[in-house]
């Protein structure tokens, strides 16, 4: 079943932004997150093994809802659709990328951080937008200010979000979920400390509301 981006975001206490450097990390990392209660996963296309990692997680971790992040081109969209991604995410929304997203009817969170960008993307039919880089682009006060004239535009803030400030974002009426890398710390991933990651995911899911 294809879920809309709104449904995906509403089902996620947060969306981890994952960077896989070693393919062997992909499945145990995804299992640890899912066991901890974080099921919607964004595996970024920032490393050469990313698409293989996505395919392996989809094949081996049935509880995961696997999407891809850092899409930059039409080719990225084709690759992600072919790999079976449930959704895609980008830090921005360049024209070529957005044309491919529309042509593929691919559930997508385009990135933006200004009212004009948000209005254009909402006009094009995107019901949830990535607000990136959230803290550097004005954080909670910026999103709060946008909610007054644009209450129907919903966001997933990412960039500088942590367990300490996630609740401040989630308390805003225009925020449906948040994204971040804090549940996948590089050191624990490199050490293969999946218990620590599962515990961090569990702490996060409980704190933000297991959905
Ligand atoms: O590139 C940054 C990621 O999208 C997430 O940001 P973060 O590491 O501040 O959570
Ligand atoms: C920033 C983000 O979520 C991405 O790289 O897609």
pLDDT digits (tens, 9 = 90+) for 2-28: 789 999 999 999 999 999 999 999 999
Distance from Cα 96 to the centre of ligand 1, integer Å: 24
Which residues pair with residue 154 across a beta bridge?
Answer: 128
Residue 17 belongs to what H/E stretch? strand 15-18
Which residues pair with residue 128 across a beta bridge?
Answer: 154
The whole-number pLDDT of residue 211 equals: 59
Residue with tokens 């971040």: 180
- Atom of ligand 2 lying closest to residue 46 CA: 5
In the chain, where the domains are located = 5-204
User: ipTM score of the complex?
Assistant: 0.95
Tell me the two tokens of residue 140.
């909670």
Phi, psi of 14 (to 5 degrees): -160, 165
Distance from Cα 157 to the centre of ligand 2, integer Å: 10
Taking only Cα atoms into account, the Rg of the chain, rounded to an integer number of angstroms, comes to 16
In terms of Cβ atoms closer than 10 Å to its own Cβ (0-12, 13-18, 19+), residue 173 is exposed
* Cα maximum dimension of the chain: 47
Q: What percent of the chain has pLDDT over 90?
A: 97
Residue with CA closest to ligand 1 atom 3: 159
| pLDDT tens-digit map of 151-169 | 999 999 999 999 999 999 9
Query: H helices within 23-148, ranges in order?
Result: 23-36, 50-60, 74-83, 95-104, 115-123, 139-147
- Atom of ligand 2 lying closest to residue 71 CA: 6
Query: Which strands form 154-157's sheet, in the order they lie side by side?
Result: 111-112, 128-131, 154-157
The whole-number pLDDT of residue 172 equals: 97
Output the ligand 2 site: residues, CB below 6 A: 17, 44, 69-70, 89-91, 130, 132, 158, 179
The yes or no reply on domain 5-204 and CATH 3.40.50.150 is no
């Amino acid at each position: 079943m294809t879920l809309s981006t709104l449904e995906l975001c509403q089902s996620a206490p947060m969306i981890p932004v994952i960077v896989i450097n070693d393919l062997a990390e992909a499945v145990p990392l995804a299992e640890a997150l899912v066991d901890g209660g974080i099921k919607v996963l964004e595996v970024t296309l920032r490393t050469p093994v990313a698409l293989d990692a996505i395919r392996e997680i989809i094949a081996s971790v049935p509880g995961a809802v696997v999407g891809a992040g850092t899409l930059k081109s039409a080719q990225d969209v084709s690759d992600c659709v072919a790999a079976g991604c449930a959704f895609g995410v980008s830090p921005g929304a360049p024209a070529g990328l957005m044309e491919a997203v529309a042509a593929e009817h691919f559930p997508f969170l385009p990135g933006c951080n200004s009212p004009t960008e948000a209005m254009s993307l909402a006009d094009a039919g995107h019901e949830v937008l990535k607000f990136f880089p959230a803290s550097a682009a004005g954080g909670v006060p910026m999103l709060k200010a946008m909610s007054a004239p644009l209450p129907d535009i919903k966001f997933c803030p990412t960039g500088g979000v942590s367990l300490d400030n996630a609740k401040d974002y989630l308390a805003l009426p225009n925020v449906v979920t948040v994204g971040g890398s804090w549940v996948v710390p590089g050191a624990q991933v490199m050490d293969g400390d999946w218990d620590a990651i599962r515990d961090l995911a569990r702490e996060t899911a409980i704190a933000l509301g297991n959905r």
